[in-house]
Structure 1
Amino acid sequence: MAVIKIKENYCKGCLLCVPVCHHNSLVISETLNDQGLYPVRFKEGGKCDGCKKCAIMCPDVAIEIYN
């Protein structure tokens, strides 16, 4: 199982990463980041197989995947 790290202060909440996650493990956060935006977060109990599609889609390089 891979580990996903989302840099909340880099994320602008564009949600481009959400539909490419085939495990539906990315959701919009309920708390604001330092920019006053709602970043994406990894869902509690979510799965990540390390496909890196979300990281590739992110225009702000806010997602890192570690296998």
Structure 2
Amino acid sequence: MIKIDSELCKGCDLCIESCPRHVYQKSSKENKKGVYLPFPENEEKCNKCHLCELMCPDQAITVEDEDGHGKDDHDEDINDDK
């Protein structure tokens, strides 16, 4: 599941431009700040590489695995074993 925080997103389109699988498209609707947000139109093509999360300067994107964990959740699990 891909989540985009509409409060944080400023519509820079870096997620659209950086996604190698062309998951994102620009929305035709404005949010309350007048920004056309990206949306995951082709979410089934996402391979959970998290590149969009890394490219987002506002940390507005969260890509969760099928188990509901985001990238940072897995990092914490790894560190718990130490």
What range is the shorter-chain TM-score in?
0.7 to 0.9
Question: Could you tell me how far apart the structure 1 residues matched to 2:20 and 2:3 are?
Answer: 17
For residue 41 of structure 1, what is the aligned residue in structure 2? Answer: 39
When you count helix as a share of all residues, which structure comes out higher?
2
Larger Rg: 2
Unaligned ranges ≥5, structure 1: none
Could you list the runs of 4 or more consecutive aligned residues of structure 1 that deviate by over 3 angstroms after TM superposition? none
Amino acid of the residue matched to residue 32 of structure 2? D
- Of 8, 12, 15, 1:14 maps to 12
Measured on the aligned residues, the alpha-carbon RMSD in Å equals 1.4
Moved more, 20-29 or 45-54: 45-54
Question: Could you tell me how far apart the structure 1 residues matched to 2:63 and 2:33 are?
Answer: 23
User: Are the equivalent residues in 2 in contact too, given 1:55–1:62 (CA < 8 A)?
Assistant: yes
Q: TM-score, structure 2 length as denominator?
A: 0.71
User: Are the equivalent residues in 2 in contact too, given 1:8–1:40 (CA < 8 A)?
Assistant: no
Q: TM-score, structure 1 length as denominator?
A: 0.84
Instruction: Tell which has more relative contact order, 1 or 2 (C-alpha 8 A, sep 6+).
Output: 1
Q: What is the number of residues matched between the two proteins?
A: 65
